[in-house]
Amino acid sequence: MTIRLGNFQIGNTQPLTIIGGLNVLESQDLALEVAQVFVDTCSRLGLPYVFKGSFDKANRSSIRSYRGSGLEAGLEILAAVKQQFGVPVITDVHEPFQAAPVAEVVDILQLPAFLSRQTDLVTALAATGRPINVKKAQFLAPAEMAHIAQKCREAGNDQVMICERGTQFGYNNLVVDMLGFPIIKQMGLPLIFDVTHALQLPGGRPDSAGGRRQSALALAKSGVAQGIAGLFLETHPDPEQAKCDGPSALPLRMLDAFLGQLAELDRLVKQQPELAIL
């Protein structure tokens, strides 16, 4: 299955789609700065691109943590990115009432990992008719994602992508099980790999998540080597000053070299025939 988005398709055999941007929308100027770098880099590499930015992060560790620009201001920022660069945009939806107004601006709706089993939210997203990027919950096995995809279908929407973002392994740690990738692909759904969230150390800091961005390239290569539809990637010009998930964010200055290696790997992997080992 592929999902058509503008002039490209998102699918496991298609060129690697990059879903990238900021974890949380901090300002319009910053969003446009980051989008410009992604657009230039992905255009040079021939990679389809979707801008990502969250208007609200409703699951922050601390009540004092920055949550985002809010719904109205956030949609204005996302609309500005679309208008200036002509690229699709994606954002999280945390509550059912947000789905319809978000779908008026946004091309792909994202179902957050912690909320991925909330049936009312799933059906509200499905009702918009927009493609849905379902984040795999840290507490679910890969095979269980079939149930969420079925909820979307029964609500009238089969435009579903599954996004792997690691599985909780004890306290304060996430592990990506590469054996889960083919399980999801066998469902016939586009598989997206959220490499930066998979680098998180949940609760790894006194009031926020820690991270392991030094391992971003190694983990991204492991995921892209599986032959996937897309890579989900959050960046920041100065990760130490980012208002959310800085320890996992890729420094923006490294984007070109980072994606250059992954684009080459993606082309190599998808040129090879798949072998059925029985």
Beta bridge partners of 250: 235
Residue 163's φ and ψ, nearest 5 degrees, are -115, 110
The active-site residue, picked from 92, 107, 194, 245, is 245
Give the Cβ contact number of residue 44 at 10 Å: 12
The pLDDT of residue 82 is above 70? yes
Residue where the block lists tokens 């080597």: 225
Known catalytic membership, residue 172: no
Q: What is the model's pTM?
A: 0.93
Summarised one tens digit per residue, pLDDT across range 224-253 is 999 999 999 999 998 887 777 777 789 999
Known catalytic membership, residue 40: no
| Type and span of the H or E element at 240 | none
- Going by DSSP bridges, is the β-strand pair 167-168/230-236 parallel, antiparallel, or unpaired? unpaired
Banded pLDDT at 273 (limits 50, 70, 90): confident
Longest pairwise C-alpha distance within the chain: 53
Distance CA 230, CA 232 (A): 7
For 9-42, give one letter per residue: b (16+ CB within 10 A) or e.
Answer: bbbbebbbbbbbbbbbbbebebbeebbebbbebb
Banded pLDDT at 274 (limits 50, 70, 90): confident
Distance CA 261, CA 224 (A): 10
pLDDT of residue 104: 97
pLDDT of residue 203: 61
User: Which residues 6+ apart lie within 8 Å of 226 measured at CB?
Assistant: 178, 181, 182, 185, 191, 193, 269
The active-site residue, picked from 52, 57, 135, 243, is 57
The one-letter amino acid code at 204 reads G
| Type and span of the H or E element at 133 | strand 132-135
Weakest-pLDDT range from 72-81, 88-97, 165-174: 165-174
Known catalytic membership, residue 23: yes
Distance CA 184, CA 194 (A): 14
Distance CA 108, CA 116 (A): 15
The pLDDT of residue 57 is above 80? no
Banded pLDDT at 190 (limits 50, 70, 90): very high
Residue 135's φ and ψ, nearest 5 degrees, are -75, 130
The active-site residue, picked from 12, 23, 133, 157, is 23
3-state DSSP assignment of residue 194:
strand
Structurally, what CATH architecture does the domain formed by 3-271 represent?
Answer: Alpha-Beta Barrel (3.20)
How wide is the angle at C-alpha 106 spanned by C-alphas 102 and 109, nearest 5°? 75
User: Which residues 6+ apart lie within 8 Å of 127 measured at CB?
Assistant: 99, 100, 155, 156, 157
The pLDDT of residue 208 is above 80? no
Summarised one tens digit per residue, pLDDT across range 106-159 is 999 999 999 999 999 999 999 999 999 999 999 999 999 999 999 999 999 999
3-state DSSP assignment of residue 9:
strand
The pLDDT of residue 64 is above 70? no
Q: Which of residues 211 and 42 earns the better pLDDT score?
A: 42
Annotated domain spans of the chain: 3-271
What is the rounded average pLDDT of the residues 196-223? 78
Distance CA 101, CA 124 (A): 11
Name the average pLDDT for the chain.
91
Distance CA 84, CA 76 (A): 12
